[in-house]
Amino acid sequence: MGWRRVWWHRGNHTRNYSHNVMSGKWEGTGKCYLPTTQPPKLFLSLHKSTSSAHSLLVSLFIGIESIIQLIIQMAQEVVIPVDEVLLGEEIDHVRLITLNRPRQLNVISSKVVSLLAEYLEKWEKDNKAELVIIKGTGRAFSAGGDLKMFYDGRKSKDSCLEVVYRMYWLCYHIHTYKKTQVALVHGISMGGGASLMVPMKFSVVTEKTVFSTPEASIGFHTDCGFSYIHSHLPGHLGEFLALTGARLNGKELVAAGLATHFVPFEKLPELEKRLISLNSGDKNAVKSAIEEFSVEVQLDADSVLNKKSIIDECFSKDTVAEIIKSFEAEASKEGNGWIGAILKGLKRSSPTGLKITLRSIREGRKQTLPESLKKEFRLTMNILRTSISEDVYEGIRALTIDKDNAPKWEPPSLDKVDEEKVDLVFQPFKEDLELQIPEREESRWHGKYETTPYATSKVIA
**Across-strand partners of 209?**
none
Q: Is 441 a catalytic residue?
A: no
**Across-strand partners of 212?**
190
Q: What is the CA radius of gyration of the chain?
A: 26
Contact yes or no for 339/266 (Cβ under 8 A): no
Burial class (CB in 10 A: 0-12, 13-18, 19+), 193: buried
Catalytic residue (choose from 144, 187, 191, 192): 192
Neighbour tally for 41: CB within 10 Å: 10
Neighbour tally for 233: CB within 10 Å: 17
Give Cα separations from 158 to 99, 155, 224, 421 (angstroms): 26, 9, 18, 20
Q: Is 145 a catalytic residue?
A: yes
Catalytic residue (choose from 84, 215, 272, 394): 215
Catalytic residue (choose from 89, 223, 252, 394): 223
Q: Is 223 a catalytic residue?
A: yes
Contact yes or no for 159/123 (Cβ under 8 A): no
Asked whether the bond before 411 is cis by omega within 30 degrees of 0, the reply is yes
Neighbour tally for 445: CB within 10 Å: 14
Catalytic residue (choose from 145, 219, 245, 281): 145
Instruction: Give backbone dihedrals phi and psi of 96, rounded to 5 degrees, phi first.
Output: -125, 125
Instruction: Give backbone dihedrals phi and psi of 203, rounded to 5 degrees, phi first.
Output: -125, 115
Distance separating alpha carbons of residues 188 and 66, to the nearest angstrom: 43
**Residues designated as active site:** 145, 192, 215, 223
